[in-house]
Amino acid sequence: MKLHFRKYGEGFPLFILHGLFGTADNWNTLAKGYAEHFTTYIIDQRNHGQSPHSDVWNYEVMAQDLIELMDDEGLAAIYLMGHSMGGKAAMFTACLHPQRIQKLIVSDIAPRYYPVHHTEIIEALQSIPLHSIHSRKDAETMLEKSIPDFAIRQFLLKNLYWKDDQLAWRFNLEVISRDIEEVGKKLPEEWKYEGPTLFLRGSKSGYIQTSDESNIIKHFPQSKIITIQDAGHWIHAEKPMEYFTETLNFLK
Residues annotated as catalytic (active site), given as ranges: 84, 174, 233
Task: Name residue 7's amino acid.
Answer: K
Strand ranges (E), 4-100: 5-8, 13-17, 39-43, 78-83
Considering only CA atoms, which of 96, 93, 103 is closest in space to residue 45?
A: 93
CB 18 within 8 A of CB 27: yes
| Neighbour tally for 208: CB within 10 Å | 24
Q: What is the β-pairing status of strands 13-17 and 78-83?
A: parallel
The 3-state DSSP class for residue 220 equals coil
Residue 59: exposure state from Cβ atoms within 10 A (0-12, 13-18, ≥19): buried
Identify residue 88 by its one-letter amino acid code: K
